[in-house]
Amino acid sequence: MRTFKKGGIHPPENKITADIGIEILPTPDIVTVLLSQHLGKPAKPVVKKKQKVKKGQLIAEADGFISAHIHATTSGMIKSIDERVSSPAGQFSQAVVIESDGQEEWADGLNIDIDYESLSREEKLRKIQDAGIVGMGGAGFPAHVKLNPPPEKKVDTFILNGAECEPFLTTDHRLMLEKPEEILKGLDIAASLFDKDIRVYIGIEANKADAIKIMEERTQGTRFEVVPLKAKFPQGCEKQLINTVTGRVLAEGQLPFDVGCLVHNVATIYAIYEAVAKNKPLIERVFTVSGMEINSRKNLRATLGTKITDIVDYCGGVTDEINQVIVGGPMMGKAQFTFDVPITKTTSGILFINNRGLERSRERACIRCGKCVEVCPQGLQPWIMTDLARLNRSELLPAYGLNDCMECGSCTFVCPANRDIVHWIKYAKVMNTRQKR
Amino acid sequence: MTTQTRQLTVSHAPFVRSGDSIEKVMYTVALALLPAIAAAIYYFGLRSLWVTLTSVISCIVFEFLINKIRKKDLTCFDGSAIVTGLLLSLNVPAGLPFWMVIFGSFAAIVIAKELFGGLGYNIFNPVLVARVFLLISFPAEMTAWVVPHSVDMVTAASPLGLLKTEGLSAIANISYWKLFMGEIGGSMGETSALAILIGALLLYAKGYIKLKIPLTFIATTFLFTGLFYLIDPSKYASPVFHLLSGGLMLGAFFMATDWVTSPMLARGQIIFGFGCGFLTGIIRLFGGYPEGVAFSILIMNALVPLLDKWDLNSIAKGRRAH
Amino acid sequence: MLESILIPIISLGGIAFVLGLCIVFVSKKFYVQEDPLLSTVIDLLPGANCGGCGYPSCSQFAAALVEKKDPSMVCPFGGPEIAQKIGSVLGIQMSETEPLVCTVRCHGTDNVAKVTANYHGIKDCWTVKIAFHGTKICPYGCLGLGSCISACDYGALSLKDGIINVNPDRCTGCGLCVDACPQQVLEMQPREPWKYYVACSSKDKGALTMKYCEVGCIGCKKCEKICPTDAIKVENFCATIDQEKCSACGLCAEVCPTNSIVLTKDSRIIKES
């Protein structure tokens, strides 16, 4: 079974929700749609307070090349445009608050069947852009930009990322089981934007044997090839996935198209299908609700802008032992400071946990065991980078590959001295980009 | 409690850990040393146990005192003091006076470890600093090796000692089997190669050993002593004899592999192991002391920061080349 | 017997003498001509090597001064006195500067500023900002983890009740702390005569600010209206006092409903609520 060469770890998988079918969470009365749900500049609002909107209507425009449109996720009335709303990233964002009228009425021309196969490449990209689709695995990079690399970068390999290597998360798993048709059509659409002889791979970790089976059956006789991957974290990170599937290696600073590859998440491809074949903008998504401190665990499909408080209520509340709420997976997610935060395009999961590690003792000195070096998938030296960052010598870190670090957390996972390695590395990156007097 | 009143805690990803901790590692190493301690009690009598207990307890007490003086959180129970204490006892003769054992603990914990900043900051292996400190201060008592199974703690020279002072003829009758099992004179932990290998196997199974170091260390010593044995077998002992006698096994698997004082990266580890083996050979064959393991490891410890720096520079250079 | 003493004395003494001659020769042959102006300037500078001027050491700053003779290059620690002396040595008129002191535009201590979530991790202001906006509900205020304390070479900053305090007797006005703060709540203000400033950076609407901090500026504009010298402007629901116009009459501090306005000398709350 294929896997990437360097490093990697095996955290407990905890795929508790793997067999639970996707449930639809009813749209709440109030949705809070953040205007920053993507990499790049936040979108600028094009609606006013008290304005009536239909479902899928454009409510904020992309600002610049790296940005994305934002749409009303339900029909109703604009209650307010708030300046400082808590975001799952731990900071604040502008948001449009919509009071739902309960009708779920789509705007004209949306949610209809489109004869997409006759569309040109530009038209397909236009639909993807109009729908405001961004990388839904967590990165949030605008999809229409990613699918349209500079002409000199020839893409000969497209990889569908069904790895889902983070513990607990089963979003992509359930999507592949329940919507294989739509996903493959979406993959077709994405691949059609490139040369006819592009190789298309579907990478799925071995712990999703049923998804591998379904995908293999459905891709019989097509040009798509399913590639089972050894379950190892961080298999789902772009660089590792490309290395496993194609053997190619990305040097520091290189992007996938520099080695002729393009990678997209399962949920993103599903959204692309809906955008091109049905004129549906990105207004809802599937995510996993898991962890031991929520009373029922589910895979939910919910409207963007639904608050975590609404989700907690729907799932029967949280236990008394809870001390952390994580958006994303336990390796690379974000701990939340409040329940009062809405889900966004990049929310792949919400975990309700009692992190006993918080009671653990403080950081000790590096005991030079070498485990961080062993597990780093990028072959870096986390031990020296942490020490230098702590001593305020962050400017020395890029020489050891600071910018190659994807902050996957493998090093911190294994460190017996309890050093907060990824946090220090993030600190060094911030220190290096600060303006010096 | 409703979600409105619940207070959350924010920390940085990752939110799971492997469960490894300094305590877990140290207690595993202590476990790996139990065969050697058992062998010591078997060969040298119950006094070995008292020496071990004295060493361990005084190490913990000294670290506790230093923790208090520095007004820091207690580190004396994290297991590293216990491991230092165990290893120190395995490096001294079973008949060493208890006050000297305590002296050794002081040298190991206070001078070699805490004065440098504590666990992770020391350059020299604390146990070896203590061993050399005791050897130079109390040369007679530190070379009074107890004869195995002796009733009254009768002492005699160790095989290496005999080799240095009386030549090849004196060790001709010592079987390899005795050397391997440990039924010979020597410090408490170094005699039984078998007990050491069992412990080393446990460390390897857990992934707690920088394997390149003991392998290159032993291979280098073997080749160096083997070379001279080939040149003149009437003057030099066989390389197998050298592997199984003295502190080579203990040194290679438990002292040179100490994480804190050994190189981080592959090339450094190989050079380190080679240096240790080479110096051990030189001291044993041509030096004034019969045994050279402790000195050779300490000398190579001094070079570790340089070896790491060299490896890091090569890495940085390699990255620039891309 | 005499021999055994004489021989070492003569041989070692001889070696020492020869080496001494070598040192004399080398010191004369390789003598570095130093600009006497440079050593004068170095002697005039405080020699604290604090970096407030933007150079790593006083000698490097002096070298740059002598080379550029730029009148705007004033040592912040030395102040106008030293600048004048250096100016006369170099033959230029140094710019007018005034002594500065650090002030903290936040006094939301533990008992008046509400907290959001706990934080567990590296205790540094920048690292907490990476994890989330800070433990206080107010995202603009002092984070209380002391990154500025490490940046200050003079020990003028300290943590008290979750907020940074400045010791004006130790503060030299070098300004290194300003960039060390991720929230940018540290501001250099002129020293004597001591004037008033607003110890709040919250740009939220008054009603919201009041909810999470008892001493935050709510942008009510009472201070702006009462100021006799028109020194106060309220922008984005936060008042700022122009130090040049301020007459230190203290009327603004009296009238402020949330005790947001304090003296630059110390950030003690002026009136009890």
Instruction: Flag whether pLDDT at C4 surpasses 90.
Output: no
C-alpha neighbours within 13 Å on the C-beta side of residue B208: 25
Here the tokens at position C187 are 């501001």
Characterise B210 by phi-psi region: left (phi > 0), alpha (psi -120 to 50), beta (else): beta
Q: What pLDDT is recorded for position A135?
A: 96
Q: What pLDDT is recorded for position B92?
A: 95
Q: Å from B313 to nearest chain A CA?
A: 9
Q: What is the pLDDT of residues B27-78, one digit of tens each?
A: 999 999 999 999 999 999 999 999 999 999 999 999 999 999 999 889 999 9
Q: What is the pLDDT of residues A333-380, one digit of tens each?
A: 999 999 999 999 999 999 999 998 887 768 899 999 999 999 999 999
CB contact under 8 A, A368 and B9: no
Contact with chain B for residue A165, Cβ under 8 A: no
Instruction: Flag whether pLDDT at C271 surpasses 50.
Output: no
Which residues of chain A are within 8 Å of residue B258 when distances are taken between CB atoms? none
Here the tokens at position B155 are 């002492």
CB contact under 8 A, A337 and C122: no
CB contact under 8 A, C126 and A430: yes
Q: What is the pLDDT of residues C34-79, one digit of tens each?
A: 778 888 888 888 888 887 787 888 888 888 888 888 877 888 777 7
Average pLDDT, chain B: 93
The nearest alpha carbon in chain C to B11 belongs to C120
* Spans of all domains in chain C: 37-90, 100-263
What's the whole-number mean pLDDT along residues B213-220?
A: 97
Of B9, B18, B260, the CB nearest to A413: B18
Here the tokens at position A314 are 């729907």
User: What's the fold here for domain C37-90?
Assistant: 3-methyladenine DNA Glycosylase II; Chain A, domain 3 (1.10.15)
Chain A interface mutation, best of B4, B9, B17, highest count of A Cβ atoms under 10 Å: B17
Question: C100-263: which CATH architecture?
Answer: 2-Layer Sandwich (3.30)
Backbone angles phi, psi at A286, to 5 degrees: -95, 140
Average pLDDT, chain C: 88
Closest CA relative to residue A424, chosen from C179, C122, B13, C145:
C122
Question: B22-311: which CATH architecture?
Answer: Orthogonal Bundle (1.10)
Contact with chain B for residue A91, Cβ under 8 A: no
Contact C180, C151 (CB under 8 A): yes
Q: What is the pLDDT of residues C137-177, one digit of tens each?
A: 999 999 999 999 999 988 999 998 899 999 888 888 888 89
Here the tokens at position C44 are 């005039």
Maximum Cα–Cα distance across chain A: 64
Length of chain A in terms of residues written: 437
Amino acid in the structure at residue A429: K
Which burial class, exposed, middle or buried, applies to C13 when counting CB atoms under 10 A from its CB (0-12, 13-18, 19+)? exposed
CB contact under 8 A, B16 and A335: no
Chain B interface mutation, best of A381, A402, A420, A421, highest count of B Cβ atoms under 10 Å: A381
Q: How far apart are CA A243 and CA A5, in angstroms?
A: 8
Closest CA relative to residue A28, chosen from A62, A79, A68:
A79
ipTM of the complex: 0.92
What's the whole-number mean pLDDT along residues A175-200?
A: 95
The nearest alpha carbon in chain C to B10 belongs to C119
Q: How far apart are CA B63 and CA C158, in angstroms?
A: 32
Q: What pLDDT is recorded for position A288?
A: 97
Query: Strands, E, within chain C: which ranges?
Result: 100-104, 118-119, 157-160, 163-166, 186-190, 196-198, 232-235, 238-241, 261-263
Contact A59, A34 (CB under 8 A): no
- Whole-angstrom CA distances from A141 to A45, A145, A169 are 20, 8, 20
Length of chain B in terms of residues written: 322
Of A339, A367, A371, the CB nearest to B260: A367
Beta bridge partners of A58: A71
Helix (H, G, I), strand (E, B) or coil at A230: coil
Helix (H, G, I), strand (E, B) or coil at B55: helix
CB contact under 8 A, A358 and B120: no
Q: How far apart are CA C159 and CA C164, in angstroms?
A: 5
In this predicted model, which residue has the larger pLDDT, B167 or C14? C14
Q: How far apart are CA B306 and CA A285, in angstroms?
A: 54
Q: How far apart are CA A21 and CA A18, in angstroms?
A: 8
In this predicted model, which residue has the larger pLDDT, A381 or B147? A381
Q: How far apart are CA A170 and CA A208, in angstroms?
A: 9
Instruction: Flag whether pLDDT at C264 surpasses 80.
Output: no
Q: Å from B68 to nearest chain C CA?
A: 23
Lowest mean pLDDT among A20-29, B34-43, C20-29, C98-107: C98-107
Name the pTM for this structure: 0.91
CB contact under 8 A, A323 and B320: no
User: H or E segment at B279?
Assistant: helix B266-286
What's the whole-number mean pLDDT along residues A100-124?
A: 94
Of B3, B13, B262, the CB nearest to A332: B13
Instruction: Flag whether pLDDT at A177 surpasses 50.
Output: yes
Helix (H, G, I), strand (E, B) or coil at A191: helix
CB contact under 8 A, A367 and B22: yes
Backbone angles phi, psi at A300, to 5 degrees: -115, 150
The nearest alpha carbon in chain C to A88 belongs to C132
Give the CA radius of gyration of chain B: 21
Contact B191, B39 (CB under 8 A): yes
Which residues of chain C are within 8 Å of residue B8 when distances are taken between CB atoms? 117-118
The nearest alpha carbon in chain B to A426 belongs to B12
CB contact under 8 A, C121 and B8: no
- Full set of structural domains in chain A with CATH: 25-102+287-356 (no CATH), 116-278 (3.40.50.11540), 371-433 (no CATH)
Residue corresponding to tokens 């540094």: C124
Which residues of chain C are within 8 Å of residue A358 when distances are taken between CB atoms? 120
Contact with chain B for residue A349, Cβ under 8 A: no
Amino acid in the structure at residue B101: V
What is the signed CA dihedral for A387, A392, A397, A403, rounded to 10 degrees? 110
Of B12, B25, B210, the CB nearest to A370: B210
DSSP states along A367-386: ----HHHHH-TT---HHHHH
Q: What pLDDT is recorded for position B2?
A: 61
pLDDT band per the 50, 70, 90 thresholds, residue C266: low
Residue corresponding to tokens 């003498």: C17
Chains that touch B (3 or more CB pairs under 8 A): A, C
Which residues of chain C are within 8 Å of residue B7 when distances are taken between CB atoms? 117-118
CB contact under 8 A, B11 and C121: yes
The nearest alpha carbon in chain A to C204 belongs to A84
- Runs of H (alpha helix) within chain B: 22-44, 47-69, 80-90, 98-105, 126-137, 159-166, 176-181, 193-206, 212-231, 239-244, 248-250, 266-286, 293-321
Chain C interface mutation, best of B6, B8, B11, B17, highest count of C Cβ atoms under 10 Å: B11
Q: What pLDDT is recorded for position A361?
A: 65
Contact with chain B for residue A302, Cβ under 8 A: no
CB contact under 8 A, B12 and C130: yes
